[in-house]
């Protein structure tokens, strides 16, 4: 069975991706590394929810907390830091592949993620499993409701939180 390290941004996005990988006969381990999440209380909510989902789904997950913050407001920097750390850990721990739950969100920059992940894979010596999981986005939302998972309202960084707040201020 092929071992894949799954970078997990949050439990709701992980639900569908984890099930898809298992269905396609991958041996999956999670990797929760998200130094972009702001503020600390939000990070803790997402981490606790991921721990809960791991417990009910059987997904073994490694949690890495480092103070290596991406450049503020720079999605490329954020993707690079998280994907590189995932690839490095995967290579060091005998995984054949790595991938990310970021690829399920219609709100993420898929071409940028793919470009960075493929480059990082070559540099770190591990294969990137590139699959567009967006067809499972609505299923992941349904699963998150079914499992009563905390569903965040923004990507994670301060800039995405501000953008969300500004959007709702304009509507009000």
Give the residue among 37, 106, 98, 105 at the shortest CA–CA distance from 62. Answer: 98
Tell me which residue range forms the domain holding 134.
2-171
Instruction: Look up residue 106 and give its two tokens.
Output: 């219609």
Bridge partners, residue 4, by sequence: 28, 97
Q: How many structural domains compose the chain?
A: 1
User: Is the pTM above the cut of 0.75?
Assistant: yes
User: According to the model, what pLDDT value does residue 168 have?
Assistant: 59
User: According to the model, what pLDDT value does residue 170 have?
Assistant: 64
User: According to the model, what pLDDT value does residue 160 have?
Assistant: 75
For position 54, which CATH number holds? 3.40.50.620
CB atoms within 10 A of CB 25: 8
Tens-digit pLDDT profile for residues 90-146: 999 999 999 999 999 999 999 999 999 999 999 999 999 999 999 999 999 999 999
Q: What is the mean pLDDT of the chain?
A: 92
Note the helical H segments in 5-157. 11-23, 40-57, 75-92, 110-124, 137-146
Question: Residue 113 in contact with residue 101, Cβ under 8 Å?
Answer: no
């Amino acid at each position: 069975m092929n071992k894949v390290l799954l970078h997990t941004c949050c439990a709701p996005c992980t639900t569908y991706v984890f099930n898809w990988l298992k269905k396609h006969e991958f041996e999956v381990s999670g990797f929760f590394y998200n130094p972009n999440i702001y503020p600390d209380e939000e990070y803790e909510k997402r981490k606790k929810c991921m721990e809960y989902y791991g417990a009910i789904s059987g997904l073994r997950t490694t949690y890495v907390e480092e103070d290596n913050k991406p450049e503020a407001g720079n999605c490329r920097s954020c993707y690079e830091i998280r994907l590189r750390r995932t690839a490095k850990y995967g290579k060091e721990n005998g995984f054949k592949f790595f991938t990310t739950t970021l690829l399920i969100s219609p709100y993420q920059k898929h071409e940028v993620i793919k470009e960075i992940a493929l480059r990082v894979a070559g540099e770190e010596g591990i294969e990137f499993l590139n699959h567009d999981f967006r067809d499972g986005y609505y299923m992941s939302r349904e699963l998150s409701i079914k499992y009563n998972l905390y569903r965040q309202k923004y990507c994670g960084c301060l800039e995405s939180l501000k953008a969300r707040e500004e959007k709702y201020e304009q509507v009000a």
